[in-house]
Amino acid sequence: MISEATKNSIERSSEDKIIEIIDMNKWFGDFHVLVDINLTVYKGERIVICGPSGSGKSTLIRCINRLEEHQKGKIIVDGIELTGNLKNIEKIREEVGMVFQHFNLFPHLTILENLSLGPIWVRKVPKKEAEETAMYYLEKVHIAEQANKYPGQLSGGQQQRVAIARSLCMKPKVMLFDEPTSALDPEMVKEVLDVMINLAKEGMTMIVVSHEMGFAKSVAHRVLFMDFGQIVEENTPHEFFDNPQHDRTKLFLSQILH
Amino acid sequence: MDKLKNNIIQSDGLKAPVIRIGALQWIRSNLFNGVFNSILTIVTLLLLYKVVPPFIKWAFIDSFWFSTAKECSAGDGACWSIIPANIRFIIFGFYPHELHWRPLLAMIMMVGLILYCKNRDHWKKSLIYIWIAGLIIMGLLMKGGLFGLTSVDSDQWGGLPLTLMLSVFGMVAAYPLGIVLALGRRSKMPAVKTVCIIYIELIRGVPLISLLFMSAILFPLFFPQGVTINKIIRAQAAIIMFTAAYIAEVVRGGLQAITRGQYEAAESLGLNYAQKMRLVILPQALKIVIPPTVGILISAFKDTSLVVIIALYEILKTTRTALADPAWMGFSPEAYIFVALIYFVCCYTMSNYSRRLEKELHS
């Protein structure tokens, strides 16, 4: 649990903006997936995004490291605006870690190689140093003894922890989580959430698409509810769960909390 | 609860039942289970009886191994003597007789290099330099003209060295070219994509023979008078272009089998296009397509025999030329069996190696 006091200690001055999304729109063909999105994320802030499936929450965070391209509006990450400029996109991706629903580890590489690949080739870190960093993060996610195995030999929960460690090895400024626990067997959800909570305690800036309401309550500064490509409601977790303002939020919460 | 526990312990001791059947039982259940299968079995046995003993008699018992053509004609058996008598022509073609050690040495070097490459521990950057040095020495051995080696015109090259050269260079060059074409065909850049599609579809749309004809007859028309490009190089280029188009389509299939998540994971780490492909996508895609790739390489190896139509004397043609000698007329089966064996050994080695490689890379 993270106390309310530390949660509210985020300084919101303009220099501390890490992500700024201004009037962003996106279409898939004729389908308007994201409508006039405005969102500012400050350093050290943790945001949980929830909403029904197809509401555009995954697409939103995938736009932040340009796995998806937006068609209107602005996205500024770490002071760099996302445009077609490949060099800028690569620079932003170096600073933004991403964890996927289906882990997406590289099956032909060992766990250690999975972790050191990015630092060696993108950050140009010497191999030995990259492997030391990799071992450090593997220990952090309690999986160091698996370093020389291949991803296929690990359980889902272990794979997801490796995936988190892989992103951390790049020493990112922001971490994006795209439904990190929804492909896991129920008994493995906790081990992954524990890793994420520890990360939060260390002050990592995180945007998490998730329906883990317990996680949202204990870790998030803000919870966003999305529906039909719009941010419908945005509030502190306390207010969001106990006193939802919007009818659609109420309906959604009643459906997921039973 | 206790009962349940006991059950679990008991089931730990259980093993899958072993089913043993005797030879008679096996014959009955596999060869004579029903009227139709029984008839098939009997007919097959009869055929084998009619074919196998006479063949063994012909090939091994009544056969001649080191005789003259005349002795052969008198006997009934196979005349393997045609092979030792003509072996140097079959293997080396019109290469000057007293210099045969040079192509022989070149071939041994090439086979040695290939065997050296089989071990994956040797797949390092230095291997490229070893190959380059090897190729220069092999070329020097074949061509001569330096260090006191007599110059041998490439018109005189032929036989097994030519076959090996055309196929090994063909494969080695076609493979990377095919990968580049496959990547190009999936490129987001319309110009690159169009060029690759046109190339692949055009080349796949014509038979290798017509490409060889074009390389022999059409290409020289485009060059100014007096400029000629070596016939072997032109045939080599045609083989490379042809094989690359097929490799490209196989590799494309492998690329499509890689999930989008792999691309996205590589991209989100900040890897650029070349790194993403080289480190993440291609190692997986190429592994998947090892079996069809080897299929293409094997057929490319055998297709080198088509260069005969532009008057290059590869091993099949040298064999036929040897058979044209009136003294040895009528012993073509023996000679063809010999050449078939050479082809088989090469192809079987390739296919064997590919299976081993698949197993080693399986993780």
Decide if B261 and A98 are in contact by the 8 Å CB cutoff.
no
In a domain, B335, yes or no: yes
**Listed ranges A246-250, B233-237, B326-330; the one with the highest mean pLDDT:** A246-250
The total number of structural domains in chain B stands at 1
Set of chain A residues whose Cβ sits within 8 Å of the Cβ of B361: 108
- Does residue B279 sit at the A interface (CB-CB below 8 Å)? yes
Name the average pLDDT for chain B.
82
Q: Count A/B contacts: CB-CB distance under 8 Å.
A: 62
Question: Which of A104, A108, A166 faces B261 most closely, judged by CB atoms?
Answer: A104
Quote the tokens at residue B280: 């993440």
pLDDT at A24: 92
In a domain, B228, yes or no: yes
pLDDT tens sequence across A150-201: 999 999 899 999 999 999 999 999 999 999 998 888 888 988 999 999 999 8
pLDDT tens sequence across B185-233: 988 889 999 999 999 999 988 898 888 888 877 777 777 766 667 788 8
Domain that holds residue B207: 82-95+152-362
Distance from CA of A110 to the nearest CA of B (A): 9
Name the average pLDDT for chain A.
88
Query: Per-residue confidence at B359, pLDDT binned at 50, 70, 90?
Result: confident
Decide if A108 and B284 are in contact by the 8 Å CB cutoff.
yes
pLDDT at residue B49 tops 80: yes
Q: Which of A58, A59, A61, A67 to mutate to test the interface with B (most CBs of B within 10 A)?
A: A67
Set of chain A residues whose Cβ sits within 8 Å of the Cβ of B271: 117-118, 121-122
**Chain B contacts in chain A segment 195-224 (CB below 8 A):** none
Decide if B261 and A91 are in contact by the 8 Å CB cutoff.
no
pLDDT tens sequence across A6-46: 455 555 666 688 999 999 999 998 899 999 999 999 988 99
In a domain, B67, yes or no: no
Set of chain B residues whose Cβ sits within 8 Å of the Cβ of A118: 269-271
In a domain, B213, yes or no: yes
- Does residue A130 sit at the B interface (CB-CB below 8 Å)? no
Q: What is the pLDDT averaged over residues B10-21?
A: 70
- Does residue B287 sit at the A interface (CB-CB below 8 Å)? yes
- Does residue B10 sit at the A interface (CB-CB below 8 Å)? no
- Does residue A80 sit at the B interface (CB-CB below 8 Å)? no
Give the residue among A145, A200, A214 at the shortest CA–CA distance from A168: A200
pLDDT tens sequence across A104-158: 999 999 999 999 999 999 999 999 999 999 999 999 888 889 899 999 999 989 9
Torsion of CA B283, B288, B294, B297, to 10 degrees: -60
H-assigned helices in A55-100: 57-64, 86-95
Query: Are B63 and B305 in contact, with CB atoms under 8 Å apart?
Result: no
User: Which of A116-120, B59-63, B168-172, B271-275 has the least mean pLDDT?
Assistant: B59-63
H-assigned helices in chain B: 2-13, 23-31, 35-56, 69-74, 82-92, 101-118, 125-143, 159-185, 190-204, 208-213, 219-222, 231-257, 260-268, 273-275, 282-288, 290-303, 315-323, 332-361
- Does residue B257 sit at the A interface (CB-CB below 8 Å)? no
Give the residue among B92, B99, B215 at the shortest CA–CA distance from B165: B92
**Listed ranges B113-117, B157-161, B162-166; the one with the highest mean pLDDT:** B162-166
- Does residue B360 sit at the A interface (CB-CB below 8 Å)? no
Instruction: Identify the residue with better confidence: B215 or A235.
Output: A235
Distance from CA of B275 to the nearest CA of A (A): 8
CATH number, domain of B217, equals 1.10.3720.10
In a domain, B47, yes or no: no
- Does residue A86 sit at the B interface (CB-CB below 8 Å)? yes
pLDDT at A133: 93
In a domain, B141, yes or no: no
Query: Are B193 and B181 in contact, with CB atoms under 8 Å apart?
Result: no
Set of chain B residues whose Cβ sits within 8 Å of the Cβ of A84: none
pLDDT tens sequence across A78-103: 888 888 888 889 899 999 999 999 99
Number of Cβ within a 10 Å radius of residue B270: 24
- How far apart, in Å, do the first and last CA atoms of chain B sit? 41
Q: CA nearest B284 in A: which residue? A: A108
Q: CA nearest A63 in B: which residue? A: B268
In a domain, B172, yes or no: yes
Decide if A107 and B284 are in contact by the 8 Å CB cutoff.
yes
- Does residue B362 sit at the A interface (CB-CB below 8 Å)? no
**Chain A contacts in chain B segment 81-120 (CB below 8 A):** none
- Does residue A117 sit at the B interface (CB-CB below 8 Å)? yes
- Cα–Cα distances (Å) from B331 to B52, B317, B339, in that order, read 20, 15, 13
**Chain A contacts in chain B segment 259-278 (CB below 8 A):** 259, 261-262, 264-272, 275
Query: Are B237 and B170 in contact, with CB atoms under 8 Å apart?
Result: no
Q: For the whole model, what pTM was predicted?
A: 0.81
Set of chain B residues whose Cβ sits within 8 Å of the Cβ of A166: 269
In a domain, B39, yes or no: no
- The label of the residue with tokens 């045969």 reads B100
Decide if A118 and B270 are in contact by the 8 Å CB cutoff.
yes
